[in-house]
């Protein structure tokens, strides 16, 4: 009951950002699909045929690279916005006292925030990506069906938004006196980004994302539990 009350509050606060990111991604994605339909698709076929034999995710990404750029931008934009909304704004508004005095454990407050952030990322980016992929595959934009791996690449790219979310959240929670120390959360997230895009296969990419997420999540949890409000 307490967790759900907190989750509902957090979801309500994330909703405008989630809806904005979803609308932008949906609009730009739909426009790109329409634009793709006007082009010589034979060229795309030749490109994809060559790359799919190699199987590296960086190559698999290429036929859909213009999509993934927007998935990346939307996911990172939404991640940063949610991180700021959930972990910075209470400081500015002075509402931490009201939140922290809830008769529940700090872990529950933290869990509700993170769950709401994840749900917002999944709905705002993940579901829109699912819809765009389904549309691209179903209405003849490509002369061949896009393989599942292309779909998974979209999720991996979208997952980078999660790193941005956790990095921004960690910066918001940090009470470090120096900006360089305070910004270390985002610095770490950026380092994981760079490491991730250098991975050759999908699974190494997901592995890097998972490690980055777990480390950032742990750092945030530690900071939240020991933080002064």
Partner 1 sequence: MTEFVLETQGLTKFYGDKLALDHIDLKIPRGCVCGFVGRNGSGKTTAIKLLLGFLKPTAGSSRLLGCDSQDLTPAIRQRIGYVAEGHRLIRWMTVAEIAKFQSAFLSQQWDSKFFWDMIDYFGLSKKQKIKHLSNGQRAQVSLALTLAPNPELLIMDDPTLGLDAAIRRQFLEGMIELIMRQGRTILFSSHILGDIERVADKIVVIDKGVIRADCSLEQFRTAIKKVKFVFGQTLPETIDIEGLLHFRHSDKELEMILVDTADEKIAEWAKSSGATDYQAINMNLEDQFIEYTAPAGRNKPFVWEAK
Toward partner 1, which CB reaches closer, 50 or 175? 175
Toward partner 1, which CB reaches closer, 177 or 194? 177
DSSP H helices, the chain, are 2-37, 41-54, 57-61, 65-87, 89-93, 96-100, 106-121, 128-138, 148-173, 179-182, 184-197, 202-226
| Residue 84 binds to partner 1 (criterion: CB under 8 A) | no
Q: According to CB under 8 A, which one of 5, 19, 31, 127 is a site residue for partner 1?
A: 5
The CB-of-55 to partner 1 minimum distance in angstroms stands at 48
Point out which span in 31-39, 95-103, 111-119, 124-132 binds partner 1 (CB under 8 A): 95-103
| Residue 53 binds to partner 1 (criterion: CB under 8 A) | no
On whether the CB atoms of residues 165 and 120 are closer than 8 A, the answer is no
Q: According to CB under 8 A, which one of 105, 144, 191, 203 is a site residue for partner 1?
A: 105
The CB-of-17 to partner 1 minimum distance in angstroms stands at 13
Q: According to CB under 8 A, which one of 30, 52, 104, 137 is a site residue for partner 1?
A: 104
On whether the CB atoms of residues 190 and 75 are closer than 8 A, the answer is no
Site for partner 1 in 156-215 (CB under 8 A): 177
The CB-of-174 to partner 1 minimum distance in angstroms stands at 16
Spatial separation of the C-alpha atoms in residues 61 and 7, rounded to whole Å: 35
| Residue 94 binds to partner 1 (criterion: CB under 8 A) | yes
Q: CA 86, 190, 220: angle at the middle one, nearest 5? A: 40
Total binding residues toward partner 1, as defined by CB under 8 A: 23
| Residue 58 binds to partner 1 (criterion: CB under 8 A) | no
| Residue 12 binds to partner 1 (criterion: CB under 8 A) | yes
Spatial separation of the C-alpha atoms in residues 63 and 65, rounded to whole Å: 6
On whether the CB atoms of residues 155 and 133 are closer than 8 A, the answer is no
Query: Residue holding tokens 């859909």?
Result: 64
Q: CA 68, 63, 147: angle at the middle one, nearest 5? A: 95
Q: Which residues contact partner 1 (rule: CB under 8 A)?
A: 1-2, 4-5, 9, 12-13, 93-98, 100-105, 177, 226, 228-229
């Amino acid at each position: 009951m307490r967790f759900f009350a907190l989750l509902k509050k957090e979801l309500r606060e994330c909703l405008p950002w989630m809806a904005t990111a979803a609308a932008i991604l949906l609009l730009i994605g739909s426009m790109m699909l329409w634009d793709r339909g006007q082009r010589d698709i034979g060229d795309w076929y030749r490109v994809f045929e060559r790359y799919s034999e190699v199987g590296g995710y960086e190559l698999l990404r290429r036929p859909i690279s213009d999509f993934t750029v927007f998935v990346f931008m939307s996911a990172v934009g939404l991640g940063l916005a949610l991180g700021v909304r959930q972990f910075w704004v209470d400081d500015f508004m002075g509402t931490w006292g009201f939140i922290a005095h809830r008769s529940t454990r700090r872990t529950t407050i933290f869990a509700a925030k993170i769950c709401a952030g994840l749900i917002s990322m999944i709905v705002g980016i993940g579901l829109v990506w699912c819809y765009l992929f389904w549309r691209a595959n179903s209405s003849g934009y490509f002369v061949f069906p896009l393989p599942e791996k292309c779909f998974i690449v979209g999720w991996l790219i979208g997952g980078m938004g999660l790193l941005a979310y956790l990095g921004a959240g960690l910066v918001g929670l940090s009470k470090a006196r120096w900006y360089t120390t305070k910004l270390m959360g985002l610095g770490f997230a950026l380092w994981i980004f760079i490491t991730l895009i250098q991975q050759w296969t999908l699974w190494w990419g997901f592995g890097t994302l998972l490690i980055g997420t777990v480390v950032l999540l742990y750092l945030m949890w530690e900071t939240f539990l020991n933080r002064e409000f």
